[in-house]
């Protein structure tokens, strides 16, 4: 039984994200929008998108026949219909149909915080409040006049944007100052002259501040449908501060300070302890949940020269948690019974393999008496990696500070010593 926290719907397909970080898709697959591969027909029941295993995801999004996921690290993956370049991929992978998730390289260094899809166009919002659009522009829905096919910034909006939403042939953007911008229109016009006309005329700006008393506007969410829009204005009585798009979405399970303190204060045999055991198992059984707990900001550093997890923080938190014997035992059980089996062994995606940097920290924190059995499982997982995944992990190891790499070596030496007569 899966706990679904997000659902996104296209024309004839749906995508769901579960609390333990898995992604499921179902419906029509004629354009590869399910992300399952070329040989999969349409699916009447949800199917796990295995190629996304291990990636700590923050959002799922769906358009007409294209699909996206956004990771907690800000990496965007897209697949499905690409006839109008709505996936934002480079020319090498710019086929009309993409059947498995691809990392969108053009968005990698933009620090994307939210993705929204229209019929055949896409908009992304960055953490700094910029909006980039790409795909079909027949109705002027991209908000710019660029003839380039890749993601292009909308320059017309004054100030940072706090929310973005795509309808079938239009895009809505809310600026932090309370301006609601719309680009495109309700029905596509298929002649060149009407498309040009729409770009000039189908741009609107409404000042939402005019609808409220002074200082009442704190946050705005917009939702664009095929031919209808909704605006939710958050006033002082409803919220304390403005929110950005991603902050209102349910997130996958992950550690935070409140959860750690709750576990530490749970009394043996209490209901609180039973709840804590379930939460520990959920996080320490799931590679994406464990990864999401210790991610660090990439900033402008290339993914090829960056370790995406904060190993020092992980070491300190795990040391703190394992001081409680029952917590240590629950973590140990979760690793042996679930996490090692769920480790991605043939992932083409770099960030999925960073879990192999966190696992040794867990093993060592659980104590010397547990290391041999845990290290053996870890070693078996590493040796079963595909060539591509193994190369990614080797690159990560080459980037590790000396003390962290040495700890992995010493852990494996302990395992070997325990096995040899």
What is the total residue count of the chain?
A: 421
Question: What would the mean pLDDT of 68-97 be, rounded to a whole number?
Answer: 89
- CA 420, CA 221: separation in Å to the nearest integer? 62
Alpha-carbon distance of 207 to 177, in angstroms, equals 9
Q: Where is average pLDDT lowest: 59-63, 201-205, 232-236, 265-269?
A: 232-236
**Spatial contact of 315 and 267, defined as CB atoms under 8 Å apart:** no
The Cα 335–Cα 318 span in angstroms is 13
Is the model's pLDDT at 193 over the cut of 70?
Answer: no
Q: What per-residue confidence (pLDDT) applies to 289?
A: 98
Distances from the Cα of 313 to the Cα of 65, 174, 301, 316, 320, angstroms: 41, 36, 20, 5, 11
pLDDT in tens, 131-176: 999 999 999 999 987 778 889 999 988 889 999 999 999 999 998 8
How many CB atoms are located within 10 Å of the residue 408 CB? 21
Name the pTM for this structure.
0.91
Chain segment 231-257, per-residue pLDDT in tens: 887 654 444 444 456 667 899 999 999
Model pLDDT, residue 313? 96
Judged by average pLDDT, the poorest of 147-156, 199-208, 371-380, 408-417 is 199-208
pLDDT of residue 178: 82
- Cα 390 to chain centroid distance, Å, stands at 23
pLDDT at 393: 96
**CATH 2.130.10.30 domain position(s) in the chain:** 4-238
Question: What is the pLDDT, as a whole number, of residue 86?
Answer: 95
Q: What confidence tens digit (pLDDT) does each residue in 330-341 have? A: 999 999 999 999
User: What are the DSSP calls for 113-157, one per residue?
Assistant: EEEEE-SSEEEEEETTS-EEEEE--TTSTTSS----SS-EE--SS
Residue with tokens 């550093």: 301
Domain covering 4-238, topology: Methylamine Dehydrogenase; Chain H (2.130.10)
Q: What's the whole-number mean pLDDT along residues 270-279?
A: 98
């Amino acid at each position: 039984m899966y706990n679904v926290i997000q659902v996104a719907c296209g024309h004839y397909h749906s995508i769901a994200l579960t609390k333990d970080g898995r992604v499921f898709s179902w419906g029509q697959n004629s354009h590869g929008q399910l992300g399952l591969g070329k040989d999969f027909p349409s699916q009447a029941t949800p199917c796990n998108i295995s190629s996304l295993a291990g990636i700590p995801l923050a959002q799922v999004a769906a358009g007409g026949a294209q699909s996206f996921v956004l990771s907690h690290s800000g990496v965007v993956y897209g697949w499905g219909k690409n006839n109008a370049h709505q996936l934002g991929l480079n020319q090498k992978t710019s086929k009309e149909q993409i059947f498995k998730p691809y990392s969108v390289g053009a968005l990698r260094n933009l620090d994307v915080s939210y993705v929204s899809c229209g019929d055949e166009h896409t908009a992304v919002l960055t953490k700094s409040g910029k909006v980039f659009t790409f795909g079909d522009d027949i109705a002027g829905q991209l908000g710019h006049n660029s003839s380039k096919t890749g993601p292009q910034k909308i320059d017309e909006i004054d100030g940072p944007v706090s929310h973005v939403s795509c309808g079938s042939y239009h895009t809505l953007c809310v600026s932090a100052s309370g301006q609601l911008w719309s680009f495109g229109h309700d029905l596509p016009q298929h002649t060149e002259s009407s498309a040009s006309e729409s770009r000039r005329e189908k741009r609107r700006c409404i000042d939402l501040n005019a609808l409220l008393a002074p200082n009442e506007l704190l946050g705005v969410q917009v939702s664009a449908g095929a031919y209808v829009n909704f605006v939710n204005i958050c006033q002082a009585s409803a919220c304390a501060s403005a929110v950005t798009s991603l902050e209102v979405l349910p997130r996958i399970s992950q550690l935070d300070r409140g959860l750690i303190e709750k576990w530490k204060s749970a009394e043996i045999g209490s209901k609180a302890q039973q709840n804590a055991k379930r939460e520990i198992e959920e996080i320490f059984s799931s590679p994406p949940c464990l990864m999401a707990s210790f991610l660090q900001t990439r900033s402008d550093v290339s993914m090829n020269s960056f370790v995406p997890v904060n190993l020092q923080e992980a070491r300190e938190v795990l040391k703190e948690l394992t001081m409680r014997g029952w917590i240590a035992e629950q973590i140990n059980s979760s690793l042996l019974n679930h996490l090692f089996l769920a480790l991605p062994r043939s992932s083409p995606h770099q960030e999925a393999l960073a879990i192999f940097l966190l696992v040794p920290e867990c093993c060592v924190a659980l104590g010397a008496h547990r290391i041999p059995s845990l290290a053996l499982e870890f070693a078996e997982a590493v040796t079963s990696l595909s060539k591509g995944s193994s190369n990614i992990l080797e690159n990560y190891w080459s980037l590790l500070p000396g003390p962290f790499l040495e700890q992995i070596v010493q852990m494996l030496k302990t395992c070997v010593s325990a096995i040899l007569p």
